[in-house]
């Protein structure tokens, strides 16, 4: 089951709100909201495709500017 | 604390992402747990209205560390030293752990059942014999939202009395009535971002450096980054704030009324006002004058607003020439003119900040109105970086006392008991019979304790506050509590205090992260926290205590919740929905570092009443004070005159006495006084005095002086050159020291509109002790 | 009382190592009086500030040790109990008055009762301005653990300093970590600091990060030949 760490960049002042929104996605855990408005989150899914889909969905969330992948592990656990 | 491989991978993923983001400071919670067995959780600080976020570290069921929360937008990992030592406030040696019942002169340990049975019987007897208005609840701006909501629901919706008041009556009531009379809605339109974005800051009678420490740090940083930033400190006493301000302007106590009117006078006479803004967004009104001081028991006042034209307002302002205000206040006329022009300077983003100097004032409502007047005349309002900002003292005076409406006259969401539609809405949401909530307010806080003294109130329950140290004219109310004859005082607290001293029953209470809670800070940010440790001994959450009484009084049906906090929140939200005060679902707050209301579709509001920020303002409206329906969505400029203080210095009592706080201690010092580091930093109260006054009276620095008012007397060492420098003819004493009850000297005069007592002005004499 | 060549005196223990070895008589006597054992001779090293903080108006240390008759009148005169009499660990300084600022600092009484009562001139009886004394100089000895320097709102040392804005001032600077706050750094001005130790006493850290050290000699800000 793949696990990845992502950094989400949001529009000014929207980080908290975005954090609330993306927490609602299955497999997304918010681990921190940085003072400059970026969010650190962990995404997990059953398959790599599922993970790609989830991250793609993150891009479409209101006030999200960018989603950067920082870490990816696809051990079979 | 073992981690599964999966957990470990997730932690690694998060850590890598943090590293990628360039931050080494934030550590993901799980990997920290793996490291040293400490589990971290978020909470807002227990102390002032700034509402800093902290992280609380728990190991083996005990708090082992607290630190500023780097992810909290308010403070970004910083605290003041009260916040730094937060965990210690729970672990003082004399923490209350069992209920105690007074038997003769002793407090005897009892079980919860015994205590609650006794309390319930006292309530029942009093209600049966003297009616529901013979019982009362005195709560707090340090109550969680749940505690306040439960108390309000029980008393107004169950027992059927409006005898519920918060200690916020003593700190923010004038700010509230200022908001309600000017904007028809409580709480500021701006937020802390204004501290970063503005360039001109007028501080009025507020020692921000010591009382809103992290906000002050933010303000100073703005100035460091932008040399254009000016900070002007209007004060009656030279403080650390004055020291760091660009200009300190001293004025005679009470003359803020004249100064603000004079500033308005200059703005109007020199045509510096924003004509378009006034036409579109402002109406003018006047009220009664010579409105009294609330010194007589059962004092009643009802204002009689009458509309005015701009010309009539201009006529009213004619008295307040800079020269007239200069004579009253001691501020040079040229300075007043300069400040007026600075306020109106179109190239500047102007903000006003105030707390207790304006609120604890016998004309507190008026002076709040007057500062809004200046912003309304110049149109400097509802813009990022440009707002009048009422700073809140307590951590949840906003979130609990004001938003839940735990006042005699209020209901949640700006509603009032005097309005039948509001009562009906509350009754509907609470599922209680129509007519349960009484239509008439009863007593403000001061009047409530007068009623206890007279015996009109027999039973009072005090939670999370210490009125028998903090009330003005304290001697009367301390004596009143112990007059017997059916009076029964219940105090819920964590430590023995001056209030538990006069109690008939003492209930040990859980505090802060020993319970789940929600606070709301000064910038409308609602912040939630989970319970992280158990309270000691048999101490219990005040929420549990209130619900327990409710059950025993036959009102258990009001609290049919399983997950009390969450279900109560969802019920409470209904009041705010669609009212411009919308709150998000509970889940949102468990995750976020607070959200500023109104929260619509998960999105918080930074600036109320402003198009593009406040979803209630429609496109094209620009600015709309939509809560003031009676005046077509406009704000009110009030013609409020200067009127003298309740008790000014005279031959027998030639000094002004002002009271207040220091950074190291919170309020009556029951918590900070038990943190050894804070007690060591500032052990006991002193009397600040001007060196010339001291010399004239033959008093040397550090010598003991006897200070007396018509109501009480106290002996303190004098401080002539400390952090606060009294002006001539003034003395200042902080009220945190339970061995030095300065409030015995204070006068219980209050603003007739807000009911808030004036802790900043009374007359005293000073002699060598 | 024998007069020693006090030039050799080691400031840290009040008695030079050579003296200690040579004058086997004096030290055991001193210790016997104090009731201590040999090991207590160096007891104060662990938290030594490197010197004994003498009461206000004290003359230079070598002369002080000669002049002080160890009568204890200064300690009696002090209304706060700030002045303590040194024990055997002070070696030759046994019985001399000093101030342990972390326990009870000097409060700078304007009428200086301690100096006024000294019969021997170890404390200058003619001292009349408490701000002119120089007991020592406060120094922030641990910048990393100073809360103010970490950006928190502390500055207790500054607010409690009896010579606030003279001996200690605040110099704010931008906090680059948070980006929107200022660091309020307490800065000590040695020419004004009298070394009373109120700052050290008030410091909220377990081990105070601001301590009174030996008075720093003044220097001109230009080079003098």
Q: What is the CATH number of the domain that holds B447?
A: 3.40.50.740
Across the interface, which of C107, C151, C174 has its CB nearest the CB of B78? C151
pLDDT in tens, B462-476: 999 999 999 999 999
CB atoms within 10 A of CB C218: 8
Task: Establish, for the pair of chains A and B, how many residue pairs have beta carbons separated by less than 8 Å.
Answer: 102
**Residues of chain C contacting A36 with CB distance shorter than 8 Å:** 179
The residue with greater pLDDT, C8 or C93, is C93
In chain A, residues 26-55 whose CB comes closer than 8 Å to chain B: 29-35, 38, 40-42, 44
The answer to pTM > 0.80 is yes
pLDDT in tens, B221-278: 999 999 999 999 999 999 999 999 999 999 999 999 999 999 999 999 999 999 999 9
Q: Please give the average per-residue pLDDT across C129-136, as a whole number.
A: 94
- Cα R_g (chain A), whole angstroms: 12
pLDDT of residue B26: 44
Question: Are the Cβ atoms of C181 and B214 closer than 8 angstroms?
Answer: yes
pLDDT of residue B495: 98
* Whether residue B83 is found in the same domain as residue B105: no
pLDDT of residue A77: 47
pLDDT in tens, B482-509: 999 999 999 999 999 999 999 999 999 9
CB atoms within 10 A of CB B178: 30
- Give the least confident one: A41-45, B57-61, B688-692, C106-110: A41-45
Q: What's the token pair of residue B146?
A: 């749940």
- Termini Cα distance of chain B: 61
Q: What percent of chain B is modeled with pLDDT above 90?
A: 94
Q: Please give the average per-residue pLDDT across B522-530, as a whole number.
A: 98
pLDDT of residue C25: 37
- Catalytic residue flag (residue B52): no
Please provide the DSSP assignment of B198-265 as one string: -SEEEEES--HHHHSHHHHHHHHHHHHH-TT-EEEEEESEE-HHHHHSSEEEE--TTTHHHHHHHHHH
Q: Best residue in C104, C170, C180, C192 to probe B by mutation, most B CBs within 10 Å?
A: C180
The answer to whether domain C136-216 has CATH 3.30.70.890 is: no
Q: Please give the average per-residue pLDDT across A18-40, as a whole number.
A: 86
Exactly one of B27, B82, B153, B765 is catalytic; which is it? B82
* Whether residue B659 is found in the same domain as residue B573: no
Question: Are the Cβ atoms of A36 and C179 closer than 8 angstroms?
Answer: yes
pLDDT of residue B474: 98
pLDDT of residue C9: 36
* Whether residue B166 is found in the same domain as residue B187: no
For tokens 């704010």, name the residue: C172
* Whether residue B181 is found in the same domain as residue B224: yes
Please list the residues that pair with B203 across neighbouring strands.
Answer: B233, B353
Q: What's the token pair of residue B740?
A: 């030095």
User: How many residues does this entry show for chain B?
Assistant: 769
Class of domain C48-133: alpha beta
pLDDT confidence band for B72 (50 / 70 / 90) = very high
**Residues of chain C contacting B210 with CB distance shorter than 8 Å:** 159
Judged by a CB distance cut-off of 8 A, whether residue B17 touches chain A is yes
**C-alpha dist (Å) from residue C150 to C66, C143, C179:** 45, 8, 13
pLDDT of residue B252: 98
The residue with greater pLDDT, C56 or B30, is C56
- Give the least confident one: A17-21, B677-681, B723-727: A17-21
* Whether residue B348 is found in the same domain as residue B400: no
Query: For residue B191, what are the domain limits?
Result: 173-293+302-394
Does residue B373 lie within any of the structural domains? Answer: yes
Q: Please give the average per-residue pLDDT across C105-121, as a whole number.
A: 95
- Catalytic residue flag (residue B356): yes
Question: Distance (Å, rounded) from C-alpha B647 to C-alpha B207?
Answer: 23
pLDDT in tens, C137-165: 999 999 999 999 999 999 999 999 999 99
Spatial CA neighbour of C210 closest among C185, C183, C173: C185
Q: Please give the average per-residue pLDDT across B728-743, as a whole number.
A: 98
What is the domain count for chain B? 4
Does residue B595 lie within any of the structural domains? Answer: no
**Does residue B31 surpass a pLDDT of 60?**
no
| Fold agreement (C48-133, C136-216) | yes
Sign of CA dihedral C2, C7, C11, C12: negative
Does residue B401 lie within any of the structural domains? Answer: yes
Q: Please give the average per-residue pLDDT across B640-652, as a whole number.
A: 98
Cα-Cα-Cα-Cα dihedral of C87, C93, C99, C100, to 10°? Answer: -50
* Whether residue B180 is found in the same domain as residue B167: no
pLDDT of residue B64: 87
The ipTM, to two decimals, is 0.89
**Does residue B701 surpass a pLDDT of 80?**
yes
The residue with greater pLDDT, B687 or A52, is B687
Tell me if residue B174 falls in helix, strand or coil. helix
Residue boundaries of the structural domains of chain C? 48-133, 136-216
Question: Distance (Å, rounded) from C-alpha B103 to C-alpha B110?
Answer: 11
**Does residue C20 surpass a pLDDT of 60?**
no
pLDDT confidence band for B421 (50 / 70 / 90) = very high
Does residue B490 lie within any of the structural domains? Answer: yes
Does residue B750 lie within any of the structural domains? Answer: yes
Does residue B144 lie within any of the structural domains? Answer: yes
To the nearest whole number, what is the mean pLDDT of chain B? Answer: 95
Residue C161 CB contacts under 8 Å (≥ 6 apart), including other chains: C167, C168, C198, C199
Q: Please give the average per-residue pLDDT across B612-640, as a whole number.
A: 97
Look up the CATH number of the domain holding residue B686: 2.40.40.20
pLDDT of residue B7: 72
* Whether residue B61 is found in the same domain as residue B107: no
* Whether residue B481 is found in the same domain as residue B333: no
Question: Distance (Å, rounded) from C-alpha C160 to C-alpha C198?
Answer: 7
Judged by a CB distance cut-off of 8 A, whether residue C147 touches chain B is yes
**C-alpha dist (Å) from residue C168 to B479, B723, C198, C219:** 45, 12, 12, 18
Cβ(B185)–Cβ(B580) below 8 Å: yes
Spatial CA neighbour of B292 closest among B755, B625, B765, B690: B755
- Give the least confident one: A33-47, B172-186, B382-396, C146-160: A33-47
Q: Please give the average per-residue pLDDT across B128-146, as a whole number.
A: 98
pLDDT of residue B383: 97
Does residue B642 lie within any of the structural domains? Answer: no
pLDDT of residue A76: 55
Judged by a CB distance cut-off of 8 A, whether residue C179 touches chain A is yes
Q: Please give the average per-residue pLDDT across B357-386, as a whole number.
A: 98
Does residue B616 lie within any of the structural domains? Answer: no
pLDDT of residue B77: 93
- Termini Cα distance of chain C: 43
- Give the least confident one: A30-34, B498-502, C5-9: C5-9
* Whether residue B360 is found in the same domain as residue B287: yes
pLDDT of residue B1: 37
pLDDT in tens, C32-78: 444 444 333 333 433 456 788 999 999 998 899 999 999 999 999 99
* Whether residue B287 is found in the same domain as residue B390: yes
Tell me if residue B410 falls in helix, strand or coil. strand
- Give the least confident one: B71-75, B254-258, B383-387, C10-14: C10-14
**Does residue C8 surpass a pLDDT of 90?**
no
Question: Distance (Å, rounded) from C-alpha C120 to C-alpha A8?
Answer: 75
pLDDT in tens, B299-342: 999 999 999 999 999 999 999 999 999 999 999 999 999 999 99
* Whether residue B202 is found in the same domain as residue B324: yes
pLDDT of residue B674: 97
Question: Are the Cβ atoms of A5 and B13 closer than 8 angstroms?
Answer: yes
């Amino acid at each position: 089951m793949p696990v990845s760490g992502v950094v989400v960049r949001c529009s000014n002042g929207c980080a908290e709100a975005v954090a609330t929104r993306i927490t609602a996605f299955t497999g997304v855990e918010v681990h921190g909201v940085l003072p400059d408005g970026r969010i650190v989150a962990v995404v997990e899914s059953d398959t790599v495709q599922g993970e790609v889909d989830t991250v793609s969905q993150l891009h479409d969330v209101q006030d999200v500017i960018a989603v950067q992948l920082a870490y990816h592990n696809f051990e079979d656990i | 604390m073992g981690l599964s491989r999966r957990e470990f991978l997730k932690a690694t993923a998060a850590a890598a992402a943090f590293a990628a983001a360039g931050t080494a400071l934030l550590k993901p919670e799980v990997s920290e747990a793996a490291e040293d067995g400490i589990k971290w959780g978020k909470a807002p600080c227990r102390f002032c209205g700034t509402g800093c976020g902290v992280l609380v570290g728990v190991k083996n069921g005990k708090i082992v560390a607290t630190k500023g929360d780097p992810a909290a937008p308010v403070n970004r990992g910083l605290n003041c030293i009260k916040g730094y030592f937060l965990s210690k406030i729970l672990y003082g040696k004399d923490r209350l752990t069992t209920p105690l019942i007074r038997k003769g002169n002793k407090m005897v340990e009892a079980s919860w059942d015994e205590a609650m049975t006794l309390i319930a019987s006292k309530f029942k007897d009093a209600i049966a014999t003297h009616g529901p208005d013979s019982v009362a609840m005195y709560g707090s701006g340090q109550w969680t939202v749940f505690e306040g909501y439960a108390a309000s629901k029980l008393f107004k919706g169950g027992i059927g009395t409006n005898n519920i008041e918060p200690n916020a009556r003593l700190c923010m009531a004038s700010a509230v009535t200022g908001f309600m009379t000017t904007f028809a809605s409580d709480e500021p339109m701006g937020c802390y971002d204004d501290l970063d974005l503005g360039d001109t800051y007028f501080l009025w009678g507020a020692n921000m450096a010591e009382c809103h420490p992290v906000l002050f740090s933010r303000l100073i940083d703005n100035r460091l980054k932008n040399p254009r930033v000016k900070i002007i400190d209007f004060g009656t006493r030279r403080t650390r704030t004055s020291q760091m301000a660009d200009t300190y302007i001293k004025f005679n106590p009470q003359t803020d009324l004249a100064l603000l009117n004079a500033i308005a006078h200059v703005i109007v006479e020199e045509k510096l006002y924003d004509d378009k803004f006034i036409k579109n967004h402002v109406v003018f009104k006047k009220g009664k004058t010579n409105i009294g001081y609330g010194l007589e028991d059962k004092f009643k006042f009802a204002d009689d607003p009458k509309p005015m034209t701009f010309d009539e307002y201009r006529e009213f302002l004619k008295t307040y020439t800079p020269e007239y205000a200069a004579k009253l206040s001691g501020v040079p006329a040229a300075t007043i003119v300069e400040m007026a022009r600075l306020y109106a300077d179109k190239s500047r983003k102007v903000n006003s900040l105030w707390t207790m100097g304006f609120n604890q004032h016998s004309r507190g409502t008026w002076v709040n109105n007057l500062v809004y007047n200046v912003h309304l005349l110049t149109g400097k309002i509802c813009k990022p970086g440009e707002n009048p900002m009422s700073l809140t003292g307590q951590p949840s005076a906003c979130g609990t006392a004001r938003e839940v409406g735990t006042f005699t006259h209020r209901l949640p969401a700006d509603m009032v008991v005097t309005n039948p539609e509001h009562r009906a809405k509350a009754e509907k949401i609470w599922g209680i019979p129509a007519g349960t909530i009484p239509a008439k307010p009863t007593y403000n806080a001061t009047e409530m304790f007068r009623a206890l003294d007279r015996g009109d109130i027999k039973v009072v329950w005090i939670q999370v506050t210490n009125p028998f140290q903090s009330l003005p004219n304290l001697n009367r109310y301390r004596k009143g509590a112990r007059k017997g004859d059916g009076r029964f005082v219940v105090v819920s607290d964590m430590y023995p205090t001056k209030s538990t001293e006069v109690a008939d029953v003492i209930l040990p209470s859980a505090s802060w992260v020993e319970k789940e809670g929600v606070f709301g800070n000064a910038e409308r940010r609602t912040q939630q926290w989970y319970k992280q440790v158990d309270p000691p001994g048999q101490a219990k959450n005040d929420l549990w205590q209130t619900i327990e009484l409710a059950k025993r009084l036959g009102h258990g049906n009001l609290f049919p919740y399983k997950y009390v906090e969450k279900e109560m929140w969802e019920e409470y939200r209904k009041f705010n929905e669609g009212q411009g005060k919308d709150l998000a679902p509970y889940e949102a707050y468990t995750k976020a570092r607070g959200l500023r209301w109104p929260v619509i579709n998960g999105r918080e509001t930074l600036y109320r009443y402003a198009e593009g920020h406040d979803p209630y303002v429609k496109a094209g409206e620009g600015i709309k004070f939509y809560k003031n329906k009676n005046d077509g969505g406009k704000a009110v400029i009030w013609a409020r005159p200067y009127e003298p203080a309740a008790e000014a210095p005279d031959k027998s009592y030639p000094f002004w006495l002002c009271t207040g706080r220091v950074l190291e201690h919170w309020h009556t010092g029951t918590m900070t006084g038990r943190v050894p580091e804070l007690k060591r930093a500032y052990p006991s109260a002193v009397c600040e005095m001007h060196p010339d006054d001291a010399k004239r009276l033959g008093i040397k620095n550090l010598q003991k002086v006897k200070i007396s008012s018509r109501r009480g007397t106290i002996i303190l060492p004098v401080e002539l050159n400390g952090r606060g420098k009294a002006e001539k003819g003034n003395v200042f004493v902080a009220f945190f020291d339970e061995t030095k009850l300065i409030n015995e000297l204070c006068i219980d005069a209050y603003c007739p509109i807000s009911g808030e007592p004036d802790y900043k002005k009374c007359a005293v004499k000073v002699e060598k002790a | 009382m024998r007069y020693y060549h006090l030039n050799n005196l080691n400031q840290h223990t009040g008695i030079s190592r050579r003296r200690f070895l040579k004058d086997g008589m004096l030290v055991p006597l001193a210790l016997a009086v104090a009731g201590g054992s040999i090991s207590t001779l160096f007891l104060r090293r662990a938290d030594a500030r490197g010197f004994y903080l003498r009461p206000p108006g004290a003359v230079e240390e070598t002369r002080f040790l000669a002049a002080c008759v160890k009568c204890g009148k200064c300690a009696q005169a002090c209304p706060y109990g700030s002045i303590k009499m040194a024990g055997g660990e002070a070696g030759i300084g046994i019985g001399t008055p000093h101030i342990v600022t972390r326990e009870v600092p000097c409060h700078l009484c304007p009428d200086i009762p301690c100096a006024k009562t000294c019969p021997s001139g170890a404390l200058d009886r003619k001292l009349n301005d408490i701000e002119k004394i120089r007991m020592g100089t406060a120094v922030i000895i641990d910048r990393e653990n100073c809360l103010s320097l970490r950006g928190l709102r502390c500055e207790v040392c500054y607010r409690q300093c009896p010579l606030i804005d003279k001996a200690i001032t605040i110099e704010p600077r931008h906090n680059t970590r948070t980006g929107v706050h200022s660091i309020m750094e307490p800065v000590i001005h040695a020419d004004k600091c009298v070394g009373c130790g109120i700052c050290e006493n008030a410091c909220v850290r377990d081990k105070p990060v601001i301590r009174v050290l030996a008075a720093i000699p003044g220097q001109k800000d230009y080079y003098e030949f």
